[in-house]
Structure 1
Amino acid sequence: MPERDPRRMAAWAAAGVVLALLAAWYLARSRPTADAAPPPAVATIAAAQEPTAEPGAAARGTKVVVDVSGAVKRPGVYSLTTQDRVEDALERAGGATRRADVTQLNRAAKLEDGRQILVPTRGKVATATAPTTPGGAAAAPEGPINLNTATLEQLDTLDGVGPATAQKIIEYREQHGGFKTVDELDQVSGIGEKRLATLRERVTV
């Protein structure tokens, strides 16, 4: 058996090592590498900016217009809100007169648009505002109208009495503390004996 050359054996061994390293390098190069996982995206959520109501808007309420008449110092039409009450309307009208009987009113009631607040005098009974027809005119009451508690709209339903005369009747009763008799109507400007005769059966005190 021929002797093996040690130098040749070493050369073959070195060549084997080199081939092994090349193979390992090639395999390492050809192996698919996993893509680096991207860093988790940080989701930013913008806070929704909800429209904020104007401070105090709800507390102020809706605008209403009311008619304050009867035994008050400054009767008239006033603008308030649905959050206001009858007491607030009386204050806007200068307050009640000395002859007023505010115990007949619910001063804690909230206001409604188009409402009339009629403040009666002592000894008189407060009446509700006359309902209106679809056309807007006040419905004529079935019985006689009380001169001391009737509203302008109720007086306007009387024959021969228009809005101007009705207002004069209200002003007279406020200035004189109410009517004592029906015949006092002839003291109101615009009502003479003839018109008074036609009104006697339609009014009372």
Structure 2
Amino acid sequence: MEKLTLFWEEHKNKIIVISGALLLVLILVGPKIKAANTLFGQSTPTQPEELVTSESSTVSSSSEGEVQQSNSTGQSMTKNQSITVDVKGAVVHPGVVTMQADQRVDAVLKKVGGATAQADLNQVNLAHRLVDQMLIYIPAKGEEVQVNSPVLVSNEQPGEGETQASQTETETDPTAESKVNLNSATKEQLTQLNGIGDKKADQIIAYRQEHGNFKSPEDLKNVSGIGDKIFAALADQITVN
């Protein structure tokens, strides 16, 4: 205690001056420190908020892109429900074109620029429904048609005797409506028959386009690769109505 008392007596003036100076500094600088803390305290959260906003915008943009891609995919899926047909004869732009599966011959003519002035549309069924790989032939006036096209009226209309036979078969065979019609079946329908794969289905369609409609189920054996064994396995599944 004596040492502390002596120290105080010797240095009390300096201690008082230093203490006063420190107090003055605190009085002058304290508000500025508080203001700085308040300023930085408000501005610091701003950056994360801006970052979150930016990220949200990015995510939103990304989502929009995904929706657009989905819509684009949806459209591609619609386009995938299409078929390819070969247009020949008296048309402005003959060739292979892609059409929707549920369209008719008149829509094909519009797509190829229409029929020429020499075309004989009286020989063509413009309402004939399209099937994949169909040959659409538009004959000229006075032309003796050598091409078997299913859209031609001459190939589409059966004789009177054939019509009566067809009606009789339908009446006597209640399952006839569920059979695959060789003259109008798509490739997918043909591949459902016993022993018929993609290749044979293509051959059946090609034969039909080249030779016209099948007159009887037995004509199927004229297609390359289809013999008695395969025909026997699917005979009760087909018709030519």
Q: Same fold (TM over 0.5)?
A: no
Under TM normalisation by the shorter chain, which class is it? 0.3 to 0.5
TM (normalized to structure 1)? 0.43
When Rg is computed on C-alpha atoms for both structures, the one with the higher figure is 1
Which structure has greater helix proportion?
Answer: 2
TM-score normalised by the chain length of structure 2 = 0.37
